[in-house]
Amino acid sequence: MNLTISGHHLEVTPAIREYVQNKLERIIRHFDQVIDTHVFLAVDNLTEKEKRQKAEINVQVSGKTLHVASVAQDLYAAIDTLMDKLDRQILKHKQMLQDHSRTAIKRLPENGDAAAV
C-alpha cells in the first residue's frame, strides 16, 4: 500500500503521520486489498471557528476509489471521524464484493437425474 500524507496550511509532523498510520492499520485489518491511499489535512479559514480542521482521504481499491471527508475543531478528532467513516465504507465495499461473487442458481449446471424426478 502506498501512503501519501500532505498538508495545506499545516505542517505534517511525525506525530500526526504516526497517528494516521496507526488509524489506517484498522482499515487494513478489515480489508487488505488497498492499492493506494492519499490523506489530505488542511486548516481552512471558515466562518465557523469550531470547524476549521479538515481531513480528507482517497483510498484506491481494485476497481474503485473511496473518498471520505471530515471537518472538526481538533485535527485529531477530524482524523478519528474520518477513519470511522472510511471503516464503514470499506466494510460496505467488502460486503458488496462478497455478495456479488456467488453464482446465481439459474447459472448452476443442471443434473439430468434431478430434473427427471
Please check whether residue 38 lies inside any domain of the structure: yes
Domains identified in the chain, total number = 1
| Inside any domain, residue 107 | no
pLDDT of residue 6: 94
Q: What is the pLDDT of residue 61?
A: 87
CATH of residue 84's domain is: 3.30.160.100
Summarize the confidence of residues 25-29 as an average pLDDT: 85
Q: Is 108 a domain residue?
A: no
| Residue-range definition of the domain harbouring residue 65 | 2-102
Q: pLDDT tens across 102-111, in order? A: 666 676 677 6
Answer whether residue 15 is part of any domain.
yes
Q: Specify if 18 maps to a domain.
A: yes
Establish if 27 belongs to a structural domain: yes
Residue 96 placed within a domain: yes
HEC sequence for the chain: CEEEEEEECCCCCHHHHHHHHHHHHHHHHHCCCEEEEEEEEEECCCCCCCCCEEEEEEEEECCEEEEEEEEECCHHHHHHHHHHHHHHHHHHHHHHHHHHCCCCHHHCCCCHHHHHC
